[in-house]
Structure 1
Amino acid sequence: MKTRYSYGGDEHIFVEVSEEMSLAAFFKSLSITQAIREANLPGVEEICPANASFQVKYNPDICSPETMLAAIQDIEKAQAAGKAEIDTRIVEVPVFYQDPWTHETLMRFRDRHQDPDGTDLSYAARINGYDSVDAFIQAHSDAPWFVTMVGFVSGLPFMFQMVERDKQIQVPKYVRPRTDTPKLTVGYGGCFSCIYSVRGAGGYQMFGVTPVPIYDPAQNAAHLKDFLVFFQPGDIVKFKPISESEYHEIVKQVEDGTYQPRTKSVRFSLSEFEKDMAGYNAAMQEALYEH
């Protein structure tokens, strides 16, 4: 991957890690931005990692563009020479697939869909070669997902599944965007899954909903007392299919202030992951469910 640097006016540096979307590109972007943050460079005001790029906003009165560019390039070289590892966490996200709320919504917008006679899940299963919706749901929830960026709307995570390239699910967005999407919908567009943090317009396919708030400006949810946004780039997400009764039970726990998502701190190694993706994923998930 050849890195391309460019200036954005006199207070931004844009860094394109790769022209191709891949876990390696995401990881490189994330590891460099983490190192920039840890370096505490004079003048840096904001660091924004993305899927295969990142941007650094800085104060040119404190640090010149040339000096900032050189400092970031030095950090990239140091990262390339070291081990591709980060400290992060794996998070369980329960999902009520084929729920009534996203189903009602998707049926209202069939005229904007590639398959007006089906559902989003049946369409996604068919074009990816799965013989049933249940088999597709299993493929979507079996392997974990790497949060590559958070944004578009507040708290919304974009996630890339941690599987071999030939196993990647690919589903196009709606032909025309919807004007409505239920809050906490688990969506899919291209090769990315996401969770809609708020109700609003959207174009991703809708597969289900999670009962776990991921954005709470009032910080009423017990797991969002420290910060109003739940996800951060580098998080590893494991979807867990749940029933309708389980969904309502978690909603009640959230409202009671007793719900805490299952999480586990892990050290992620890109090289070890690439040697044996299925085995590495299984080990992380075993760690998540250890007592």
Structure 2
Amino acid sequence: MTRGQLMPKTARMNMRPSRRRPGRPVGPADSSPPAAAAPPPRGRRPAPERGGQERGRAEVAPRGTCWLYGTHAVMAALSNPRRRLRQLLTTAEAQAALEERMGGSLPIQPQRVDRARIDAICGRDAVHQGVALLADLLETPALEDIVERPGPVLLLDQVTDPRNIGAILRSAAAFGAAAVIVQDRNAPEETGALAKAASGALEVVPLVRVVNLSRTIDALKSHGMWTVGLDAGGGILDGASFRQRRVALVLGAEGAGLRRLTREHCDEIAGLAMTGDMESLNVSNAAAVALYEMSRPRGV
């Protein structure tokens, strides 16, 4: 990538090859089973009951639920009134730390287990910090509800790595984005790895799944949004020039960039001003820089 451009289609990204994640990474609990799962929230398709395969082997979560792990992700879910909580597993040390950080009380009674039990649920290599929470999937809000929220909207064109999407959610929360929109057929499910990378942002920024990204871009335009595709072949993204406009930023997939049809539906194409010697940015890093550019004060 040349200076002033973002992620050309031929750029090579230094990342693990993505693959479609199975529906849910983890599984049923110990001797006392969780409460019977309610039907999945309206507007969200149920997850297929397949074995999770995050790093290391993991168990299967009941349909319509997922296991969240890691202190920040679990604390955020416990504090989210929109989450239906099913089962909380902790080690002795993690329970004490969790209760201390949440003011001494938890909204669900934890079950004390050893670390090996949580390893089996989350996968051997998952950094779960001794805590795992089984919870229902979050309900997907309607697009009409998203446009009522303040801040820019991010659309991801076939970004498939859950850790990248989690990191983008974290940046979106930091810079006040209204939502992150992904194409349902080509995006990972809500998993513990995604929530861990988001570090609690999954509970703050809606992750919206749509069937057709191009039609969604057109729908945002009809609500007065100016859509900017972050890719090579355009100008330089100037956040100050959009102060009087509501902006939707469209980011392409790792390595491939924006698809042709997606580019054609954007109002304009722009890249990031880069003054160093690097030729490319990871898509989550590019999202963070673009969001900062959109929020910086005029003249800075």
TM over 0.5: no
What range describes the TM-score normalised by the shorter chain of this pair? under 0.3
Higher relative contact order (CA 8 A, sep 6+): 2
Q: What TM-score, normalized to structure 2?
A: 0.24
TM-score, normalized by length of structure 1? Answer: 0.25
